[in-house]
Amino acid sequence: MKKKLIIFDLDGVLINSKYNMEVSWNSLNTKYNLGINFKKYFKFIGMPFEEILKKLNINKNYSIYKKHYDFVSKKNIKLIKLYPGVKKTLKILKKKKIKIAIVTSKDFNRTKKILKIKLNSINFDLVNSPVKKFRSKPHPDLILNTISRLNVDPSESLYCGDMNYDLQTAKRAGIMFVLAKYGYSSNLKTNHKIKKFSNILKYT
């Protein structure tokens, strides 16, 4: 079935922000002497920042650590790059009257700033980031909220992500998952994959 709504993860799908993350984490790690290298942090990418800290057995100072991480991330936003073909393909989807949305674990303020700088010409139908009243990935809350608000049936929707947390989120929401193999985790076992961003057009 051709899809009427395509929901995208942000990091690893629309943008390559890994170097930005590494610089931000290394700064935090050094300043507060956490003793946790970026490789360990990156294992949990796809979850909200506070949840990652909990996974790393960091159980305090969440707001202080997030404030520092966000400051360094915003300061180095130039390190974030769009994947090839993203802007052109999103414009094609809009011309085809396909609804496009973002569901990300990145907080809304940083998401908004990144989109303003990197994708200001794209009018997303909805951008959903973690909020207190909804559980974050791998829970399906934000996906289901997006589908409901855009008035599209789950069978007519898909979620394009690159991590296992994205896959689990789509499964729990009952919608098709498409793996962005060019992203951060290319070895997931899924039925639907794209090798480059423009390949998403085959689902429309």
Would you state the pLDDT for residue 145? Answer: 97
**Both tokens assigned to 30:** 């050094």
Classified as helix, coil or strand, 15 is strand
Token duo for residue 111: 């998401």
State pLDDT tens for residues 57-92: 998 999 999 999 999 999 999 999 999 999 999 999
**Tens digit of pLDDT for each residue in 98-152?**
999 999 999 899 899 999 999 999 999 999 998 888 888 889 999 999 999 999 9
* Range name among 1-10, 17-26, 35-44, 128-137 with the lowest pLDDT average: 128-137
Average pLDDT over residues 188-203: 95
Strand ranges (E), 45-197: 81-82, 99-103, 126-128, 157-161, 176-180, 193-194
* Average pLDDT in the chain: 94
5-16+81-203 CATH fold: Rossmann fold (3.40.50)
Query: Which sign, positive or negative, has the C-alpha torsion 116, 165, 150, 133?
Result: negative
DSSP state of 35: -
Residue 31's H or E segment, with its range, is helix 18-31
Domain boundaries, the chain: 5-16+81-203, 18-79
Whether 169 has a pLDDT exceeding 90, the answer reads: yes
pLDDT at residue 1 in the model = 76
Q: What is the pLDDT of residue 186?
A: 73
The mean pLDDT value for 166-172 works out to 95
Q: What percent of the chain has pLDDT over 90?
A: 87
- The whole-number pLDDT of residue 185 equals 82
